[in-house]
Amino acid sequence: MPAWGGVLIIAPVFSGPWPWFNALNPGVFMSSDAIVHISDASFEQEVIAADIPVLVDFWAPWCGPCKMIAPILDDLAEQFEGKLKITKLNVDDNKESAAKFNVRGIPTLIIFKNGAAHATKVGALSKPQLVDFINGAL
């Protein structure tokens, strides 16, 4: 037996489009350029004053289900470009907006239309479920 105990360690060297990989490797997956990262300070301008519907993903960096839906939201941001703006708001850094919209669990997805909350889903959803949620709100 080798001196190192015979344990083979395989370290991931790439980020893939697999939600399980991204959930297990925090910080590896970066969101698409189509996703807008917002804050309490920019919420009014980016969401309330937007001229198209806006989906806000209330998330946290330590949240496994949030990481699992991140690549799906990236795909949908490109798929719905021009019809829906997809944004992300880190609830750890932006407590005011999370409290204002009564976010109690994450991920919480809220679609805003004409400056008001229109539809809400809490928890990780599959891509078909997210598409149905978005289409139902548009």
Tens-place pLDDT, residues 15-73: 444 444 445 544 444 566 789 999 999 999 999 999 999 999 999 999 999 999 999 99
Pick the CATH number of 19-23+31-137 from 3.40.47.10, 2.60.40.1180, 3.40.30.10, 3.20.20.70: 3.40.30.10
pLDDT (0 to 100) of residue 34:
83
pLDDT (0 to 100) of residue 31:
61
Residues in contact with 42: Cβ distance below 8 Å, sequence separation at least 6, in sequence order: none
Q: What distance in Å separates the CA atoms of residue 41 and residue 24, rounded to the nearest whole number?
A: 31
User: What is the pLDDT confidence band of residue 2, given thresholds at 50, 70 and 90?
Assistant: very low
Active site residues: 63, 66
Tokens 């198209």, residue?
Answer: 52
pLDDT (0 to 100) of residue 63:
95
Please state at what angle helix 64-79 crosses helix 127-137, rounded to 10 degrees: 60
Give the mean pLDDT of 115-134. Answer: 96
